[in-house]
RNA sequence: GCCCGGGUGGCGGAAUUGGUAGACGCAGCAGACUCAAAAUCUGCCGUUCGCAAGGAUGUAUCGGUUCGAUUCCGAUCCCGGGCACCA
């Protein structure tokens, strides 16, 4: 009887499906465990071997937890709204709904072949109206809420309105009260429109004007990903910033809680770090400086407020820099400086973001002629403007402390400004020193105090005199929430006379209308703007025409799995109370600051509104690494000949073609520095021979099959190692590079092929065996043989090809039980720790040992099968039934580890003197440390080494080694 | 530039967190079975000296702590990821 994996896997996948083995129900008799994968975007190219890595890991963990007696929720669904489907629609005219449906079916078929234990009855799709009804509904909840800073919690907007009516903004701490405050009488005097505008500022999802990437030539708004160096990815047209009405989520109100929440969840340090950087909390102070300028009339006081994280360096301020867009610039610029300032302003205006990005290190700036007065020592400090100071962060103004800040120092040196040294010997005059540990010198009343103390002193003095105050700043901006696109959730919002009105909840879902054309609407609006019969409503109002971004649906999807068919709520409180947080969330790092931050915010909001009982969605996150592929390539260089022709020259990876003229076949081709910026032409593995070479005929075929628009087929010259290959016909050494798998790189490995050749169990196990789950590693199909051999070996413990059944019911001996129990402990540990690669190794060791022991005993094998069941579900289920067991192996009890089987009565320890190993002695394991000393002292050999006059000093016994230190 | 990771055989990677480095698998070499192949099994497999027993050396480089360092500390060099004029 052979291991026929195809028949076994097909049979069990069918049986599991028919018997609904993986359907989950609420079961309060068992502890729950929620294991979730980041749901995929169903792209057209299907799965490659990298995708299932995380899914396999979560599947193993789910099955393991189920064996351990947990009620496990392990669902799967699709993040099915998104740009690629829409782009595909633009190109082919196929409706995104159709392609999405096809892609999902394809994904599901691929996933099913790998044998996952998903509860498919809970499948969700973000593009399904029954799903996005609730995305819209939560959006409306955000719209109808504001954030009360006094209690750090979202509250209904109606309560804010009531407060305004009674007492105005008095006592309300929110984002806008600092900018606009009023009392109840003033509030009542505002027009309806004014009131609505004020309320809009407080809403957690709000509409405001913001900049978008606008591409005039394409007539459309582009996502950041679609803009490359200021040009559109498609077509290469220039992209500029354009102000448009946009929707935003006021995630900044949650910044502090998002930061603090990190402490109570298990994310990797690097991911927490990324989120912290993104939130970018900095504590410092705002300091006000009085400005003197000949442009100001006497009595006309102007105050410049800067933000600094280093108030302790106040005596080291040698200049001020304010953003060119700063409102003070016009007012304080002196007559003498006006022309230069105007020139500089024109210069910055002429510079696009693209240029500002490209020339980051260039120092520019201009003196305004005005001076700021240092409030502590009355020094006059010149005020400059420079484009490196951003109007959007802090106060749009900084104080320059050249001795303590690298950028400030470079600025001072460039413009030849004097540098005040407040840190004494820490400052060497040629480079700034950013230390926070110095004792201040040359600093007025701060001289002699440490920087830490000085910070406190300055801030309290500032607050006492009203010249400044403590201030916390966040780098994070409110999240843009609208996209001028078709394939996304429509906003449940209508507009009339410039005011937004929310749809009533019972009007949801607001379904996405069917369109024939996916081109942009007028004025940068989305495609929906073209469907006037949908946008224009009978009462004269108009629907919002943008749609929600990809992260809308994914911000709360983990809740929907808990109660996927609920028509009355997004998820019943009962279901969310039971399933609670996601215990284990597996996905890639690419969502570190996007999805993971937004869904944390939504969860906090839903918690605030009392809809769920927890405010962090994911208890533990594991990032799976990427599986990379090996791609093969040649370098291509564009060259020009004297007679005006152009050609493409090929070279291998190792040998770059030199810049300069090349004489090939009597024609001189020139490669200049620019065309030396070669591009890599990649090709499929099949073109390469056994030693990694390309034959000349293959290269020619390659160019016919993979035509490159920029290459004229007639002008390709295959050139390598100073030889023109068109003459010699010599094979060409292919370059290789390990990189992310992608269809366009011809390095994709398809899981279906592996499953057909080796089976799903082998595939699953091999993916885990490749290396630690969170590491990225290259795919190598060759190694899969070893894992497949392991499964065959396992099978042979039960069945022999010729004699059939070999397993028996004999009693296990001590040696066999030792192998078994060591395996139990290792697998239990490793699975719990997600160390799946070492677990697979442990299985191999275990099966090797049992094979050596010729152990075919049911008593042992049955337990091994249970341990192995999460990893290779099909073969274990089959063998489990062959042993005469009913049901599914997942309902079997997890084998218990008994230490007594593993303990050795006596163990051989190496004995060393001063770290040098001399011999080994036997020590019984229950011996205490004193006993060891006795043994050592009584051991003649050891005594001989130590000699009579050299008694032992220290004896370490640590698991493996006894060392005598003399 | 800044912030996180990480550097171990020909390759993917182990090492109970300071205790005999290289588990497990791939590739390679030798052998058994076979007419032959496949499948299966056995042995060898960091480098170096040696017929061998065995010795020396070895975890990116240099230095330190320790009886003992892949592990801890300091400096340097590479590789990967993230952020980027954030005051």
- Taking only the tens place, the pLDDT of each residue in A778-809 is 888 888 999 999 999 999 999 987 778 888 88
A848 touches strand B (CB under 7 A): yes
- Structure tokens, A213: 């990437």
Candidate from A275-279, A294-298, A678-682, A858-862 with smallest mean pLDDT = A678-682
Provide the CA A783 to C1' B46 distance, Å, integer: 21
CB half-sphere exposure, A904, CA atoms < 13 A: 11
A269 touches strand B (CB under 7 A): yes
Nearest residue, CA→C1' of B24: A841
ipTM of the complex: 0.93
A955 touches strand B (CB under 7 A): no
Averaged pLDDT, A673-677: 59
Provide the CA A94 to C1' B1 distance, Å, integer: 47
> Nearest nucleotide by C1' from A362 CA?
B85
Nucleotides of B under 7 A from a protein CB: 1, 3-5, 11-16, 18-20, 23-27, 39-42, 67-68, 80-87
CA–chain centroid gap for A884, Å, is 47
pLDDT in tens, A935-964: 666 666 666 666 554 444 555 555 566 777
Whose CA is closest to A767, among A118, A6, A56, A47? Answer: A56
Tell which wins on pLDDT, A141 or A702: A141
Residue A485 has pLDDT above 70, yes or no: yes
Residue A255 has pLDDT above 60, yes or no: yes
- In the 457-496 stretch of chain A, whose C-beta falls under 7 Å of nucleic acid strand B? 473, 475
A277 touches strand B (CB under 7 A): yes
How many whole angstroms separate alpha carbon A944 and alpha carbon A966? Answer: 13
Provide the CA A22 to C1' B16 distance, Å, integer: 36
A716 touches strand B (CB under 7 A): no
Residue A148 has pLDDT above 50, yes or no: yes
A179 confidence band (pLDDT: 50, 70, 90)? low
Q: Helix crossing, A814-832 with A836-852: angle to 10°?
A: 170
User: What is the pLDDT, as a whole number, of residue A689?
Assistant: 62
Residue A913 has pLDDT above 90, yes or no: no
Candidate from A38-52, A252-266, A692-706 with smallest mean pLDDT = A692-706
Strands A679-683 and A777-778: unpaired
A282 touches strand B (CB under 7 A): yes
Provide the CA A783 to C1' B10 distance, Å, integer: 14
User: What is the pLDDT, as a whole number, of residue A330?
Assistant: 87
A965 touches strand B (CB under 7 A): yes
Averaged pLDDT, A357-375: 80
User: What is the pLDDT, as a whole number, of residue A293?
Assistant: 83
Provide the CA A959 to C1' B16 distance, Å, integer: 9
> Nearest nucleotide by C1' from A361 CA?
B85
- Structure tokens, A112: 């099913």
Q: What mean pLDDT, rounded, does chain A reach?
A: 84
A407 touches strand B (CB under 7 A): yes
Residue A725 is classified by DSSP as H
- In the 7-66 stretch of chain A, whose C-beta falls under 7 Å of nucleic acid strand B? none
pLDDT in tens, A17-51: 999 999 998 888 899 999 999 999 888 888 888 88
User: What is the pLDDT, as a whole number, of residue A2?
Assistant: 81
Q: How far is CA A905 from CA A197, A486, A901, in A?
A: 81, 72, 10
Whose CA is closest to A130, among A552, A528, A569, A617? Answer: A569
Residue A698 has pLDDT above 60, yes or no: yes
Cβ neighbours of residue A162 closer than 8 Å, sequence gap 6 or more:
none
User: What is the pLDDT, as a whole number, of residue A544?
Assistant: 94
Averaged pLDDT, A640-669: 67
Measured at the CA of A400, the angle between CA A396 and CA A404, to 5 degrees, comes to 130
What is the radius of gyration, based on Cα positions, of chain A? 35
Nearest residue, CA→C1' of B15: A838
Residue A547 is classified by DSSP as B
User: What is the pLDDT, as a whole number, of residue A516?
Assistant: 82
A355 touches strand B (CB under 7 A): no
Strands A282-292 and A302-308: antiparallel
Whose CA is closest to A923, among A951, A953, A874, A957? Answer: A957
Tell which wins on pLDDT, A431 or A835: A835
Nearest residue, CA→C1' of B14: A838
> Nearest nucleotide by C1' from A364 CA?
B85
């Amino acid at each position: 009887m052979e291991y026929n994996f195809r028949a076994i896997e097909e049979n069990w996948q069918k049986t599991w499906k028919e018997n609904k083995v993986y359907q989950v129900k609420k079961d309060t008799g068992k502890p729950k465990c929620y294991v979730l994968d980041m749901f995929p975007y169903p792209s057209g190219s299907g799965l490659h071997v990298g995708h299932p890595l995380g899914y396999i890991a979560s599947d193993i963990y789910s099955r393991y937890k189920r064996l351990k007696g947990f009620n496990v929720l392990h669902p799967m669904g699709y993040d099915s709204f998104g740009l690629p489907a829409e782009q595909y629609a633009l190109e082919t005219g196929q409706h995104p709904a159709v392609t999405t449906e096809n892609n999902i079916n394809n994904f599901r078929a691929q996933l099913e072949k790998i044998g996952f234990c998903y509860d498919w009855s809970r499948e969700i799709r973000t593009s399904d109206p029954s799903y996005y009804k609730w995305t819209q509904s939560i959006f409306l909840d955000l719209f109808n809420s504001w954030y009360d800073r006094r209690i750090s919690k979202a509250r209904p907007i109606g309560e804010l309105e009531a407060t305004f009516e009674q007492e105005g903004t008095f006592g309300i701490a929110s984002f806008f009260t600092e900018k606009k405050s009023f009392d109840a009488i003033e509030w009542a005097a505002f027009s309806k429109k004014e009131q609505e505008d004020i309320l809009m500022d407080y809403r957690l999802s709000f509409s405001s004007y913001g900049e978008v990437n606008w591409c005039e030539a394409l007539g459309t708004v582009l996502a950041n990903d679609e803009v490359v160096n200021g040009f559109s990815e498609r077509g290469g047209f220039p992209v500029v910033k354009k102000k448009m009405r946009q929707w935003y989520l006021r995630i900044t109100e949650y910044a502090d809680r998002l930061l603090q929440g990190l402490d109570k969840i298990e994310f990797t340090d690097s991911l927490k770090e990324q989120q912290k950087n993104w939130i970018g909390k900095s504590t410092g102070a705002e300091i006000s400086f009085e400005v003197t300028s000949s442009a100001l009339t006497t009595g006309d006081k102007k105050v410049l407020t800067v933000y600094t994280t280093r108030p302790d360096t106040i005596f080291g301020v040698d200049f001020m820099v304010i953003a060119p867009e700063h409102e003070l610039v016009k007012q304080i610029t002196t007559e003498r400086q006006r022309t230069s300032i105007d020139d500089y302003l024109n210069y910055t205006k002429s510079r696009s973001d693209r240029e500002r990005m490209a020339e980051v290190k260039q120092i520019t700036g201009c003196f305004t002629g005005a001076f700021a007065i240092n409030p502590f020592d009355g020094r006059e400090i010149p005020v400059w403007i420079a484009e490196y100071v951003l109007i959007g962060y802090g106060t749009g103004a900084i104080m320059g402390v050249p001795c303590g800040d690298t950028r400030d120092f470079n600025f001072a040196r460039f413009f030849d400004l004097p540098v005040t040294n407040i840190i004494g010997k820490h400052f060497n005059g040629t480079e700034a020193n950013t230390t926070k540990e110095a004792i201040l010198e040359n600093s007025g009343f701060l001289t002699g105090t440490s920087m830490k103390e000085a910070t406190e002193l300055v801030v309290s003095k500032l607050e006492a005199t009203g010249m400044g105050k403590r201030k916390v700043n966040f780098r994070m901006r409110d999240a843009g929430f609208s996209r001028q696109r078709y394939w996304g959730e429509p906003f449940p919002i209508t507009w009339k006379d410039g005011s937004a009105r929310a749809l009533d909840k019972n009007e949801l879902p607001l379904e996405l209308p069917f369109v024939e054309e996916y081109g942009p609407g007028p004025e940068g609006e989305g495609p929906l703007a073209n469907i006037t019969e949908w946008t224009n409503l009978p009462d004269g109002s108009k629907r919002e025409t943008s749609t929600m971004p990809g992260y809308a649906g994914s911000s709360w999807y983990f809740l929907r799995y808990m109660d996927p068919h609920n028509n009355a709520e997004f998820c019943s409180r009962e279901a969310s109370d039971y399933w609670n947080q996601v215990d284990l969330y597996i996905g890639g790092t690419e969502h570190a600051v996007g999805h993971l931050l937004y869904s944390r915010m939504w969860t906090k909001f839903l918690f605030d509104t009392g809809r769920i009982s927890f405010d962090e969605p994911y208890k533990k996150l594991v990032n799976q690494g990427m599986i990379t592929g090996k791609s093969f390539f040649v370098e291509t260089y564009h060259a020009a000949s004297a007679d005006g022709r152009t050609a493409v020259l090929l070279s291998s990876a190792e040998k770059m073609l030199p810049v300069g003229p090349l004489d090939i076949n009597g024609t001189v081709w020139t490669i200049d520095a620019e065309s030396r910026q070669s591009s890599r032409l990649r090709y499929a593995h099949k073109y390469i021979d056994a030693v990694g070479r390309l034959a000349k005929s293959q290269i020619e075929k390659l160019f016919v099959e993979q035509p490159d628009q920029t290459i004229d087929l007639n002008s390709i010259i295959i050139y390598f190692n100073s030889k023109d290959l068109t003459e010699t016909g010599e094979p060409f050494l292919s370059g290789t590079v390990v990189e992310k798998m992608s269809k366009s790189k011809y390095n994709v490995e398809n899981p279906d092929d592996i499953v057909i050749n080796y089976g799903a169990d082998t595939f699953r196990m091999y993916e885990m065996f490749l290396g630690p789950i969170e590491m990225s590693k290259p795919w190598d199909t060759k190694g899969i043989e070893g894992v497949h051999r392991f499964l065959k070996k396992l099978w042979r413990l039960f069945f022999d090809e010729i004699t059939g059944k070999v397993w028996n019911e004999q009693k296990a001996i001590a040696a066999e039980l030792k192998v078994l129990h060591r395996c139990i402990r290792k697998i239990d540990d490793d699975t719990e720790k997600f160390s799946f690669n070492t677990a697979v190794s442990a299985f191999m060791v275990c099966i090797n040992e049992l094979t050596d022991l010729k152990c075919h005993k049911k008593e042992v094998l049955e337990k091994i099968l249970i341990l192995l069941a999460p990893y290779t579900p099909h073969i274990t289920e089959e063998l489990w039934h062959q042993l005469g067991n009913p049901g599914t192996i997942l309902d079997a009890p997890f084998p218990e580890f008994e230490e007594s089987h593993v303990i050795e009565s006596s163990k051989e320890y190496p004995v060393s003197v001063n770290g040098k190993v001399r011999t080994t002695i036997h020590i019984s394991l229950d011996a205490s440390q004193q006993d060891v000393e006795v043994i050592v002292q009584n051991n003649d050999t050891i005594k001989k080494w130590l000699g009579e006059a050299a008694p032992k000093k220290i004896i370490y016994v640590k698991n493996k080694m006894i060392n005598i230190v003399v």
